[in-house]
Amino acid sequence: MKKTFRILVIAFSLSVIFMTALSFYSINRFAALTNYSASVDHTHKVIGQLYVIEGIVKDLDRIERGYMLTKDTSYQRAMLNTVERIGPVTDTLKSLISENEAQKKNLILVKSALAMRRGYIGDNFAYLDTTRSNNISPYYYKGRRSMQESLKNIRDMQVQENELMALHQRNKTFYQQLTATMLKYILTAFCLITIISFFLILREFKKRVAYQDELQAKLIDLKHSHAELEQIAYAASHDLQEPLRKIQVFSNRLVWLKTQGIDDESKHTMERISTSAIRMQQLIEDLVNVTNLSKQQNEKKLSDLNIILNQVQNDLEEKIVETNAVINYEPLPTIKGHHSQLRILLTALLDNALKFTHENVTPVINISVHTVQVNDSSDKRSNISRKSYYRIDIADNGIGFDNKFSHKLFQMFQRLHNQHSEYDGKGIGLTISQRIMANHNGYIEATGHPKTGATFKLFFPIEE
């Protein structure tokens, strides 16, 4: 399932990258298309203004010839009106070609030729008004040459603009086709990615539904197994303990009845039978306690760990006095939890610290509190989210342990010392402690050094 999820993430990431790249490429192509379209429109405007100027030049020629033939003063007014149009048109054209140096030079030539043309027309009109001769004025021929020069320069500008127009039009057509093609590719890729993603998600959804059904079936089996475990625990707490009590009673009775006639070896044997029965009874009780911890608990309540610690010290007072132990602790926090379980937890840890000590060495137990941020999400802590925790360290100066055996500490009935060791223990106290921490959405860690001591770290989540 993790592999499929990873494939989905990779496929989605690649599709997003691919779509993003195509989108940016299409945006750039569309921007280029827009620019070339604007260039085509701009060139159309320039060509339009050139046609206007060409029309003005031709109008000037027509007006001049009309006046030469008729001497009608209305042609003079028309001449003035036409000349007044030259300035605004050339200014507009100048602004349109402001970024084209070659066309700016051509426009200067056009304006110069028009100025000369305008001057020769004025001289020709003056010559016609003062001379009654029918001969053609020399200014007319000069004006014709300036007109032809103006038209030539205008046509040169038109040729350049037409070339630009053709270039911009080709680019516009190319980017139009490219943009349309890219849009088709993007749409096709989007459809394919969507369809593939849909089928992958659908397949994953079906797997998850099947997994949920399987999980539900396993949960039902687990409930059945848990119910059977509770029945076993009930039998252990009632049916199995009764024979053990009888073994103790009858072995003690046998020793009492045969006080005079029993030898020391037989008496020692009976005592060992009684001791083993007691130990067996305690193991069964601890096993029942572990089972009970897995049952549904009542709602958690605010529990002051300082009060619980004082109660535990009262419970262990006899052992504390016997070993002359010193317990140093900082003020402990108040947490949400089950009071009875927390009492069992601290009792088990302090009892271990008082039990596994060096001979002729005063046990010293230091309890400290820290606020930490937990970012570890390893497999053994899959239920641990990233948040703040109270870390309560319980450190002692006892016999400690080798850290390479730390994985055995919390396993049921696992002991780091053999059965004949001087240290008494059943190997279930830390299993109970681990279960209690899990019930409080926390966890427990242990570190040790041989002959130096051990530290148990309790991580309780800080409730917001």
In this prediction, residue 413 carries a pLDDT of 54
Residue (of 298, 463, 286) closest to 387 by Cα position:
463
> How far out from the chain centre does Cα 143 lie?
79
In this prediction, residue 369 carries a pLDDT of 93
Least confident of 69-83, 258-272, 398-412: 258-272
Highest mean pLDDT among 79-88, 169-178, 188-197, 229-238: 79-88
- Total number of domains in the chain: 3
The CATH number linked to 6 is 1.20.120.1730
Same domain for 367 and 268, yes or no, is no
Structure tokens at 29: 């192509």
Residues 6+ apart with CB under 8 A from 347: 312, 315, 316
In a domain, 289, yes or no: yes
The rounded distance, in Å, linking the Cα atoms of 452 and 443 is 24
Same domain for 276 and 415, yes or no, is no
Dihedral sign for Cα atoms in the order 416, 418, 421, 423: positive
* Domain ranges, residue 385: 297-461
In a domain, 210, yes or no: no
In a domain, 301, yes or no: yes
Tell me the three state secondary structure of residue 266.
helix
In this prediction, residue 331 carries a pLDDT of 92
Region 290-294 average pLDDT: 60
In this prediction, residue 394 carries a pLDDT of 92
In this prediction, residue 133 carries a pLDDT of 67
Q: What is the pLDDT of residues 317-344, one digit of tens each?
A: 888 888 889 999 899 999 988 888 899 8
Contact 60, 82 (CB under 8 A): yes
Dihedral sign for Cα atoms in the order 420, 422, 428, 434: negative
Same domain for 137 and 174, yes or no, is yes
Q: Name the domain boundary from 202, 224, 248.
A: 202
Same domain for 16 and 101, yes or no, is yes
Same domain for 312 and 434, yes or no, is yes
Same domain for 281 and 305, yes or no, is no
In a domain, 232, yes or no: no
Region 136-147 average pLDDT: 86
In this prediction, residue 392 has a pLDDT band, given cuts at 50, 70 and 90, of very high
Q: What is the pLDDT of residues 180-205, one digit of tens each?
A: 777 777 778 778 877 887 787 888 77
DSSP 98-140: TT-HHHHHHHHHHHHHHHHHHHHHHHHHHHHHH----SPPHHH
In this prediction, residue 456 has a pLDDT band, given cuts at 50, 70 and 90, of very high
In this prediction, residue 395 has a pLDDT band, given cuts at 50, 70 and 90, of very high
In a domain, 82, yes or no: yes
Residue with the larger pLDDT of the pair 164 and 419: 164
Over the Cα atoms of the chain, what is R_g?
A: 52
196 DSSP 8-state letter: H
Q: What is the pLDDT of residues 220-255, one digit of tens each?
A: 877 776 666 666 666 666 666 667 677 777 777 666
For the chain, give the mean pLDDT: 79
Contact 118, 83 (CB under 8 A): yes
Region 20-25 average pLDDT: 73
Dihedral sign for Cα atoms in the order 35, 39, 40, 41: positive
Residue (of 453, 451, 460, 452) closest to 433 by Cα position:
460
Residues 6+ apart with CB under 8 A from 165: 40, 43, 44, 47
Region 427-443 average pLDDT: 83
In a domain, 208, yes or no: no
In a domain, 215, yes or no: no
The CATH number linked to 425 is 3.30.565.10
Q: Is the pLDDT of residue 43 over 70?
A: yes
Residues 6+ apart with CB under 8 A from 420: none
Structure tokens at 20: 């993003």
The rounded distance, in Å, linking the Cα atoms of 372 and 390 is 6
Same domain for 117 and 254, yes or no, is no
Residue with the larger pLDDT of the pair 259 and 449: 449
Q: Name the domain boundary from 149, 182, 202.
A: 202
Residues 6+ apart with CB under 8 A from 204: 4, 5, 8
Q: Is the pLDDT of residue 356 over 50?
A: yes
Same domain for 281 and 328, yes or no, is no
Q: Name the domain boundary from 251, 279, 295.
A: 295
In a domain, 168, yes or no: yes
Residues 6+ apart with CB under 8 A from 233: 287, 288, 291, 292
Rounded to 5°, angle at Cα 271 from 416 and 277: 60
Beta bridge partners of 334: 304
DSSP H helical ranges for 239-328: 241-257, 264-293, 305-315, 317-323
In this prediction, residue 379 carries a pLDDT of 42
The rounded distance, in Å, linking the Cα atoms of 464 and 461 is 9
Residue (of 330, 445, 288) closest to 378 by Cα position:
445
Same domain for 306 and 289, yes or no, is no
For the beta carbon of residue 459, count every other beta carbon within 10 angstroms: 21
In this prediction, residue 382 carries a pLDDT of 44
Q: Is the pLDDT of residue 367 over 90?
A: yes
Same domain for 397 and 260, yes or no, is no
- φ/ψ of 362, rounded to 5, equals -70, 120
Q: What is the pLDDT of residues 296-311, one digit of tens each?
A: 566 788 899 999 999 9
Structure tokens at 430: 């830390």
Structure tokens at 369: 């509190």
Same domain for 356 and 452, yes or no, is yes
Same domain for 301 and 291, yes or no, is no
Structure tokens at 110: 């056009």
